[in-house]
Structure formats: structure tokens, C-alpha cells
Amino acid sequence: MTKQLSDCLHRYRFPRFEKSWGDIRRGIEKESLRVSSDGQLSVTPHPIALGSALTNPFITTDFSEALLELITPVSDSITECLQVLGNIHRFTSQNIKEGEMLWATSMPCPLKNNEEIPIAKYGNSNIGKLKTLYRNGLHHRYGSTMQTVAGIHYNFSMPEAFWKSYKNICNFDGPIKEFRTKKYLHLIRNFHRNSWLLIYLFGASPAACKSFVTGRKHDLEELDESTLFKPYATCLRMSSLGYRSEAQKSLFVCYNDLKTYVDCLYEAMNTTYGDYDAISQLPGGEYKQINTNLLQLENEFYSTIRPKRNVEHGERPLESLTQSGIEYIEVRALDLDPYSALGINEEQIRFLDAFLLHCLLADSPDCTESEFFEVANNVNKVVESGRDPTLILEKERSPKSMQEWALELIEDISHSACLLDNAHQSGCYYSSVLSQSKKIKNPELTTSGRILAEMEKNRFSFFEFSMKQSKLHHQTLIKETLDEKISHTLSKTSNDSLTEQKKIEELDKISFDEFLQNWNKK
């Protein structure tokens, strides 16, 4: 698999790959459930020491008060990005309620019922109430259990120095904003075609507590009295029982150009959906959801990747994308790695960078509706049976061995890894790709395979395995010394965020009813 630089440049029709182009910009958002020392979901409010979930740029919540989200700033250094995530993680672990810890796996701890899961609150401002109402809508539409799964969101963008040169290489005559948007959509199409590979390699949810499927139909097998699993599963988090929407199953969202993508989502956000129309208001006129449409907001569209840009407080994401173009992409297909205290490690990041760069530079034909659903079917197969060495996928309507296809992809991705190694004068990217090829040849080396093997060897239930890893990481994080200056910065940011939330609340001049009407009119 060793590559010459000239071969790698030829693969992507590049005359050169400058050193500065390797300075990929990345950010990580890591979700984790807060649980008690005996592994039960925390029902306590978001800790005041962590500041305001509405305005703290480093620590917020997702669906639940118990589902924390730790956010790093953008960095062009993998080492720095992980160091910052580690600092935020340590600060969080040291400032949550005594006796609580962060759950180490993507699939949740034992859950009693939907009503037990506390929905996240963001204060009394109109925008804060909207965020909570959106989550109430998710609760009524899908149930809260589904919303407790956790994952890693990986934000990726190429450096500014790359885009002007790449635009010239491609002989693109339009504005650089349009070129960047065009190429990020190009990346997204290829990501969809090949995302099953990431799910195979890094899926880490082959089993779950029985409580996760209480009251729902499923075809999981019983591993022990408290655990359900599938023998060859990789990522039940992405299955029909996990972070998915049956209502969106037939929704075809096209990434051929930005207008088409935006129009697809706008249509879904303005089309009443029968089942949601039947969700009435609570007694006394209290709202249950933002609206009755297929999507309440853009973010309700469940996708493994999203085109993104930074938005101003209260600004609509699609409006911002339409006006200013795509700034970066967000990968949402990654489970927490329970063998890493941070849920992700350096080798995985290097492979992700090589994978995404390959998706950006390789040819990317326009997607069709038939291919869109073919890709979705491939993902489902790998989610449920990815480690089956006989698994067959479909490639352009023809059967293809998953193992054979995966090895071909790994071979091709080594071209982009070589370019990044040349830019950084290292062999780390190629090494990360080589490590993944070993997992394809031996499925037991995948994270999902290691988890099930350890559970079988030690006769662990999924709960016992998750508790062991959660306690191990918690003890590591609370014992590690946090630099005094960093601790002060994170404490000050938390305190300042509480002040900022109050300012936002004081600026509201209209009732929430009027605010919601105006929001839906947009």
C-alpha cells in the first residue's frame, strides 16, 4: 500500500500539495450522559458550576439536562484539539455533582421510562424557551429514550490557503464562496457513498441495555438477562432503534447544489405531517412542539453529515448557508470510543482527516434518488451486520463484497494520507490507514468486535462493561491536575455565560407566543 508522492498527486490531478494545505481545521463536540455512581441516569439540573447551557461556548447540553456536550474551539493541531477537549472534560468531571460521572458508551445507561429523562432547559428567554420546546417536540414525536444516545461530532474544514490555489487548479471562474460550497457538497456526496466504512471501523455500539427498547418492536437477540445485541452489529446507535426517524425514511435530500439541499429541507419544514398534526397542545394551551411539520427545525433532519457555518445567536442555519455558503462540514456518524477517556483518539482523527480529504478530492458524480436509498440500505446493513465477513453491499446496483470494497477504499484513501504525511513530514497518516486495513481483514479488531469479545470473556453485561469503562475514565480525569490558568479560564467562562444568559432574557420585548409565530413565519 506504500505510495509515491507523484502517484498520489496524479490520483487527484494535482500539480503539487503545499505544506500549508495540510493544516486541516477541526473541532470536536463530545456528548456524554451524566450518571450516578451506580450507573443510573442523573435527574439533577445542569450543574451551575458549568455555567449556562445556552451561552457557554465549551459546555452545553443536548436533548436532556443529563446529556452534556463538550465543545472544542477550532484548531489546526490534532494534539492541541485533544488537549483542549481533555481540559474541558477534566473541568466538567471535577465540577459535576459529587458521586456523578460521565457514561463512557454511546448506548445509554438503564432507563426506567420516557418521563424519567429530564428535558434540557435554557432559561426564560424566548430563544431559550424555543430550544426547550424543540426538545419537547422530539420527546412527543420519537420518545425521549432515542434521544439519550451519545456520539462524537467531528467538524472539518480545509485551511484558507488551500482554497484559492485549489480554485485555480480546478479553473473555476466564480467567487471563492461558491467554489468552496460546491466542493464541500462534492465531499458530502462522497461521504454518503462511503460512510458505511466509518461505521464498520469505529462503530462501538453492538449491544444495549434491554430498557432501551422497552415497548418497541425489535429483532435484537438476548445476550444475558439485561443485555440485547446482534452478533455482527457495529453501531446500533445508528439503527432503526437508535438515532433515526421512521418519518424521515422516505425523505430524499439532495446534495448536488446548495439551493436543492436548502429547498429539500425548507419543504420538509413547511409540510404538515399527519402524525405530528395529531399531537395536540397540553392542557392550558402549553405547546408540545414548535410546529406540526415533518421537521420542526433544520436540525431535526437526521443525517450522518451536515453542511454548516457559524451563525449569529438566533439566526436560522439554512438562511445563513444560503447567504454566505458552506464554511465547514460536521460528521455525525461516530460512536464514543469506550476505550478512550475522551471518546476519540489521535489515530482515529488522522484517519478521519485522510478519509474526508479523499472525499473532497476524488471525483464525485451528482447523486440520484436511487443511489440515495441504495446508500442508506448499505449503511443499514453495516450497522446491523458489518462484521459478517460474507456481507454483500450494493454498488451502483450491483452486488459487492463489503470486505473487498473496504480494502479497495482503504487503498485509495492511502493516497490522501500520503499527501498529508508529506505536508507534515511524518508517517502518521499512512500508519492510521494501515491500522484500519487490519480491522477489515480481522473484524474482531474493530471496536464493536473488541467490546463483544471482552463482554463474553468476562461474562459482562453491557451495563457492567459500560460501568467499568465509565469509572476507569472518571477516576483518570478527576485525578489529573488541571492547569490553574486553564481552570480559571473555564470557571470565568462559565460565570460569564450565566451573566450573558440574563442579558439575553432582559432584551426580550415580545411574548413567547408572538416570538414563536414570527419564528415559524420565517
- Please list the residues that pair with 235 across neighbouring strands: 205
Are residues 185 and 258 in contact, defined by beta-carbon separation less than 8 angstroms?
yes
Residue 164: all three cell numbers together: 484559492
What number is the average pLDDT over the span 440-468? 98
User: How does 380-395 read in b/e, with b if 16+ C-beta sit within 10 Å?
Assistant: bbbbbbbbbeebebeb
- Whether residue 246 has pLDDT greater than 80: no
Average pLDDT over residues 206-211: 96
Averaged pLDDT for residues 22-51: 97
- Per-residue pLDDT tens for 111-144? 988 888 999 999 999 999 999 999 999 999 999 9
Structure confidence at residue 197 (pLDDT): 98
Cα radius of gyration rounded to whole Å, the chain: 23
Average pLDDT of every residue of the chain: 94
- The counts of H helices and E strands in the chain are 16, 12
Instruction: Please give the Cα distance from 323 to 141 (Å, whole number).
Output: 31
pLDDT grade for 274, boundaries at 50, 70 and 90: confident
- Whole-number Å distance between alpha carbons of 64 and 121: 8
Tell me, what's the pLDDT at 311? 83
Q: Is 492 helix (H, G, I), strand (E, B) or coil?
A: helix
3-state secondary structure 84-145: HHHHHHHHHHHHCCCCCEECCCCCCCCCCCHHHCCECCCCCCHHHHHHHHHHHHHHHHHCCH
Which of 308, 318, 313 is closest to 54 using CA atoms?
313
| Percent of the chain at pLDDT exceeding 90 | 87
What distance in Å separates the CA atoms of residue 133 and residue 52, rounded to the nearest whole number?
17
A 10 A CB-CB count for 433 gives 26
pTM, to two decimals: 0.96
Architecture in CATH for domain 5-521: 2-Layer Sandwich (3.30)
User: What's the pLDDT score for residue 243?
Assistant: 63
**How many percent of the chain have pLDDT more than 70?**
98
Q: Does residue 285 carry a pLDDT above 60?
A: yes
Distance CA 218, CA 221 (A): 9
Contact status, residue 37 vs residue 83, Cβ threshold 8 Å? no
**pLDDT value at residue 2:** 65
Residue 425 pLDDT:
94
pLDDT of 315 higher than 80 = no
Angle at 306 between CA 233 and CA 301, to 5 degrees: 75
CB-neighbour burial class of residue 278 (10 A; exposed 0-12, middle 13-18, buried 19+):
exposed
Give the pLDDT confidence score for residue 451 in this predicted structure: 98
* pLDDT band per the 50, 70, 90 thresholds, residue 280: confident
Query: How far apart, in whole angstroms, are the C-alpha atoms of residue 413 and residue 11?
Result: 10
Q: State the sign of the Cα–Cα–Cα–Cα dihedral 408, 410, 414, 416.
A: positive
Cβ within 8 Å of residue 445, ≥6 positions away:
438, 439
What cell does 475 get? 477516576
pLDDT of the residue at 148? 95
